[in-house]
């Protein structure tokens, strides 16, 4: 009952005031109570206990960091700061830590509006790209926003280890890129594809890209971020 009451208390002030972004524990006087109650909130969004990765695969399945670091979690429009987070990009799972039970627990992807890792990178949960083989739980990194969203799917695969080793496989990090509008995902594999989708004037934009030394193959994230920002002006 204590958990349920706390959840209602936490969400109640933010659910009806029409504001887009509210921060739990924003009033510093209540921050210690928020931090104390965080484990109970975590139980309400848990997707179960996280399964540790195989020790027979070399490397780790995580994006950015293999250690818990304080990030930001957005649930039902409410922002929760200082939440320990891991992103397993191999299984497309967001993981937090339950200090009471000393366990790594999964956060249900459908509960996630978004999250931000300690390095400042932002991720969102999307539906609507089910035909994409690496869609997983629908978690994508947000690169830029305008009339279109530019997003990246950061994922890991495994490759068999051929030489004699204590490992059977090794993790490989990969990325795919998309422009998204009205729930429709358009995969971008070449810079020219983005020009055509966004309807940009090539001569002017290519000049701006050269001035910024942006080439899709070399830096696709900054390339797409720039294009969607220009397109929204």
Q: How far apart are CA 77 and CA 15, in angstroms?
A: 8
| Whether the predicted pLDDT of 105 surpasses 80 | yes
Q: How far apart are CA 91 and CA 63, in angstroms?
A: 11
Mean pLDDT estimate for the chain:
83
Q: How confident is the model at residue 94 (pLDDT cuts 50, 70, 90)?
A: very high
On whether the CB atoms of residues 228 and 146 are closer than 8 A, the answer is yes
In this prediction the pTM is 0.82
Q: What is the dihedral of CA 98, 104, 110, 111, to 10 degrees?
A: 10
Q: How confident is the model at residue 7 (pLDDT cuts 50, 70, 90)?
A: very low
Mean of pLDDT values over 132-140: 96
On whether the CB atoms of residues 12 and 76 are closer than 8 A, the answer is no
On whether the CB atoms of residues 103 and 39 are closer than 8 A, the answer is no
pLDDT value, residue 170: 97
On whether the CB atoms of residues 74 and 112 are closer than 8 A, the answer is yes
Domain residues of the chain, as ranges? 1-118, 126-233
Q: How confident is the model at residue 29 (pLDDT cuts 50, 70, 90)?
A: very low
Distance set, CA 159 to CA 58, 169, 170, 172 (Å): 10, 5, 5, 7
**Is 20 or 225 the better-scoring residue by pLDDT?**
225
Could you tell me the two tokens for 128?
């609507």
Q: At what angle do helices 220-231 and 202-211 cross, to 10 degrees?
A: 130
Smallest CA-to-CA distance from 173 within 156, 191, 152 is with 156
Q: Which of 52-61, 67-76, 121-130, 135-144 bottoms out in mean pLDDT, i.e. has the lowest?
A: 67-76
On whether the CB atoms of residues 208 and 225 are closer than 8 A, the answer is no
Q: How far apart are CA 151 and CA 175, in angstroms?
A: 10
Task: Residue count of the chain, please give it.
Answer: 233
Render 78-141 in DSSP notation, one character per residue.
EEEEEEEEEEETTTTEEEEEETTTTEEEEEPGGGEEEEE-TTS-EEEE--S-TTSTT-TTTEEE
Q: What is the dihedral of CA 57, 63, 67, 71, to 10 degrees?
A: -160
On whether the CB atoms of residues 187 and 134 are closer than 8 A, the answer is no
């Amino acid at each position: 009952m204590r958990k349920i009451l706390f959840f209602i208390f936490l969400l109640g002030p933010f659910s009806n005031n029409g504001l887009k972004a509210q921060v739990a524990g924003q009033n510093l006087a209540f921050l210690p109570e928020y931090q104390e109650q965080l484990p109970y909130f975590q139980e309400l969004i848990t997707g179960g206990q996280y399964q540790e990765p195989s020790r027979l695969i070399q490397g780790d399945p995580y994006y950015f960091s293999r250690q818990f670091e304080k990030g930001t979690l957005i649930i039902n429009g409410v922002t929760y700061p200082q939440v320990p987070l891991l992103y397993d990009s191999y299984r497309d799972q967001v993981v937090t830590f339950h200090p009471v039970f000393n366990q790594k627990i999964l956060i249900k992807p459908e509960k996630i509006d978004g999250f931000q890792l300690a390095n400042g990178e932002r991720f969102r949960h999307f539906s609507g790209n089910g035909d994409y083989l690496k869609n997983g739980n629908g978690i994508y990194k947000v690169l830029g926003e305008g009339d279109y969203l530019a997003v990246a799917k950061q994922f890991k695969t495994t490759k068999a280890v051929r030489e004699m080793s204590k490992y059977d496989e090794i993790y490989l990090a990969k990325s795919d890129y998309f422009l998204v509008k009205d729930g429709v995902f358009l995969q971008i594999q070449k810079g020219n594809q983005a020009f055509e989708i966004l309807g940009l004037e090539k001569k002017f934009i290519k000049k701006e890209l050269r001035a910024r030394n942006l080439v899709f193959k070399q830096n696709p994230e900054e390339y797409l971020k720039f294009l969607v920002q220009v397109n929204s002006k």
